[in-house]
Structure 1
Amino acid sequence: MGQCSAVDGVPQDFHLAHYGSFALGGAGMVMVEATNVEERGRATPGCTGLWNDTQMNAWKRATDLVSKLGSVPAIQLAHGGPKASCVPFWEGYESLADEKGGWPTIGPTAQPFGGPVWKVPKEASIEDIQELTHLWAESAKRAVTAGFRVIELHYAHGYLVSSFLSPATNHRSDSYGGSLENRMRFAME
């Protein structure tokens, strides 16, 4: 669903036309692309965000249009975690090199998503996890203020929360790793 067409996480006129066209076509609900809770959570440089009010105000234009056309505006809140900082999807399936604008990533452990083409993420500290939980809450508040009536938490595809849930990628020995209950803790918070 990602359109890779945002600038600094801000949806553009393209997004307004794209999502408005679904509402104009009669969709009952229009789910926008995975929208990131912080800048380092973007899968690509062109991914949308909801970590600041400029982004919120841009999304408000889209939700107003979708609502006016009779559809329910919905959003996926996401964080790429170890799969963040990638080249745009049409250029391949690998991390974006630092010299080409890539950024540091974060995950439950310092284990890359896949082979050698993926960055090694920073292992999230307890403080990082608390801050990330706060960022998800703040983005959800902005989503409501922007006019979204449905919020989906994107916990799939090896992104941040998904990587906490999986014993294949979560090798922590604290209260966020080990047992299923512990691996689910971040998602539940």
Structure 2
Amino acid sequence: MTDIRHRQEQHSLSMMYGTYADILFVLFPFLVIAMQRLWDGNLYETLMQPDLSIAAAILAGLAIGKFVLGLVTNQDLGRYKERIVFFIALTLFLVMGPAIILLLSMTASADVPRFVAFVQPVLLIVAISLYSTAVSIANVLVQMGEAEPTANDAELRYADAMSQPRDSSKQPPLDLPRRTESDGY
């Protein structure tokens, strides 16, 4: 029992590291830009440029992708589709929409309102939170959809599969639709 719990904790820890590695890779170019502006003495300009809105929109898009991945990974998880659609709508409403509106408004206007310096970091924090949540939810849904085999079960199945010759006649044939005259081919 403790071995299964230990593996689950290790898997959760690995997922956390992977999630934050993704976030750091997305934010890296924006960090370089911010460091260059800091070097030039214009760090406040970073908050008044659309950089953070771009990063928030990227992370929101990744979050939506993770939510969809959690939904389509296993067909048995369809009972959770309303929740996942809610999180997709929440991501669009809270992050993607405002980030794109800010991005377009900031690039089209010479005068950027001062509130943007506060809104953009908040958008980025919400985007990071939603992306982390999306990865966690996708992971939980996938784990709920599969029964976690023990190490002995997996080893026995592998050994059994390796010891028996492959018989292609036992596999179902690939069912492809036939072309008809009405298809135009």
Q: Report the TM range for the smaller structure's normalisation.
A: under 0.3
Name whichever structure is richer in helix by fraction: 2
Query: Which structure is higher in RCO with an 8 Å CA cutoff and minimum separation 6?
Result: 2
TM-score (norm 1): 0.21
User: Which of these two proteins has the greater Rg computed from alpha carbons?
Assistant: 2
TM-score (norm 2): 0.22
